[in-house]
Amino acid sequence: MEWVAALSRFAGSRLGSYRLVRALLLPAVLAACGGSGSDGTTAGSNAPAPVPAPASPAAEVTVQEVTAQLSAPWSLAFLPGGSMLVTERRGSLRRVAASGQVSAPLAGVPAVYAVGQGGLLDVVVSPGFADDRTIFFSYSEPDGPDTSRTAVARAILGETAISDVQVIYRQVPSRPGSMHYGSRLVFDREGYLFITLGERGEQERAQDLGTTQGKVVRIRPDGTIPPDNPVFPQPGAIPGIWSFGHRNPQGAALDPATGEVWVGEHGPQGGDEINRILPGRNYGWPRITHGRDYLTGQPLGEGTTAPDVEAPLHYWVPVSIAPAGMAFYDGDKLPGWEGSLLVGALAGEMLVRLDLQAGRVVAESRHLESLGERIRDVRQGPDGYPYLLTDNGRLLRVVAR
C-alpha cells in the first residue's frame, strides 16, 4: 500500500485533485486492502483498558472440511435433519448435505446485481420453517443499468427450486456503485426480522433518516412495520428504522441471553465495531468513529465519543480485521468456548472469539490464522459445532484439536 500513501500525499496538496483521485481509486484501494490486514491490530472495548488474553484456558481448535465445492459462498442456514442452504454471491442457492454433497443451483432465485460486493447475500429460515417451509434471503437487486439496492425476499423452499418469491423490503434509495450493502438477517424472539443495511459508500447518508442507507431496520415477516418501532422526530424519517449511523454491517446475531441483536460492522482503516443494537440509537458513522481515512491516514469525524452516540462494545484499531458473519456459541463441544461470540474475519483471515461477561467483552482470542482463509460466515450447527464459510468456497466444521 506504499503507492496509496504516496498518491495521497500528492493529491492531498490539491483538494480538487484529491477528490478526483479518491473517486477514481477508492474502489481499487478497498479491494487491494481488503479492509486492511490483521498484523499489528489491537482491540478495544467498552472498558477503558486494552482487552486482555482469556483468563481461563479454552479448547484449541482445528477444522474438518465438509466441502470445498462452493463458489464465493456468502451465507449458511441449517435445515431440519442437518442439511444446509448456502448462498453463492454470483446468484446461486444450493443445498449441502451433511455428508458434503452439493446440489445443483435451486431454480427460482431472482436476478442479482453480482458486481463488486453485490450479489446473493444472506439466507435464514423462518422461525416456523418446519410447518411453513419459508426462507428469507437478501440480495443486491438491480434497478436500472447502473444502480442497485439491498432487497429482502421470502420464498417457499422445495427440493429443486424456490417458489412464491415475494420481495418484502427494499432499501431506499437505489444507488450507483457496488459496495456496502450490509445485508445480514436476524429473527428475534418475537419473530420480527432485523435487516442490516450499509450506507453504499455515501458516508453522510448514514445519519440521514430520510434514507435507509447505513441503518438497521425491523419489520414483520410480511414486510409491514411493527407499531412499537422507534418514531423519530425528524421530518421525513422513514418508518421501520431501528438504529442508524452504521457503515457496512456484514455480521449480525441474536444474543441468546438477552434476546438483543448484536451487529459487527466494517470500519474504514481501523474502527471495525461490535455493537449492541438498541432502538432509536445513533451508532455514529461517519461523525463518531475510531477509523481513519484510507488515503490520508487522518482520523475521520469529530472524535471517538459523543453523548448522543452509542459506544461500541468492542472495536479494532489501528487496522481492521474486516468482520463478517458472526454467531453466539452456546454448544458444548468446545470446552471454554461456551457463551462466546465468534466473529469471522475477512482481511484478518481468522476466527475471532470474544469472551463475554454480563454483556461486556472481556477478552479476545484468535484462531485458525494458519488456514489463510477469508472467513465469510459463522453459524452454530445443530450438532453443537461452529461451521464456517470461506471465500475460497470451503465449508468447514470447527472441532477441538
If residue 164 lies in a helix (H) or strand (E), which one and from where to where?
strand 162-170
Instruction: Provide the total of helices (H) and of strands (E) in the chain, helices listed first.
Output: 3, 25
Q: At what angle do helices 15-33 and 2-11 cross, to 10 degrees?
A: 170
> Could you tell me the pLDDT band of residue 7, with boundaries at 50, 70 and 90?
very low
∠ CA(152), CA(156), CA(157), 5° rounding?
105
- Structural domains of the chain, ranges and CATH numbers in brackets: 34-400 (2.120.10.30)
Angle, vertex CA 179, rays to CA 35 and CA 380, nearest 5? 65
User: What pTM was computed for the model?
Assistant: 0.89
Q: What is the pLDDT of residues 238-247, one digit of tens each?
A: 999 999 999 9
* Res. 232: pLDDT tops 80: yes
C-alpha cell at 269: 482503516
Catalytically active residues, by annotation: 180
Residue 29 has pLDDT above 60, yes or no: no
Q: Is the pLDDT of residue 15 over 50?
A: no
What does the buried/exposed string (b/e) look like for 294-319 if buried means 16 or more CB atoms within 10 Å of the residue's CB?
Answer: bbbeeebbeebeeeebbbbbbbbbeb
Stretch 169-184: mean pLDDT: 97
Over residues 105-149, the pLDDT tens digits come to: 999 999 999 999 999 999 999 999 999 999 999 999 999 889 999
Rounded to the nearest integer, the mean pLDDT of the chain is 89
d(CA 260, CA 276): 7
Q: How much helix, strand and coil, in percent to the nearest 5, is found in the chain?
A: 10, 40, 50
Q: Which sign does the torsion angle of CA 146, 152, 158, 159 carry?
A: positive
pLDDT at 20: 36
Q: Quickly state the pLDDT bin for 4 (edges 50, 70, 90).
A: very low
The whole-number pLDDT of residue 40 equals 34
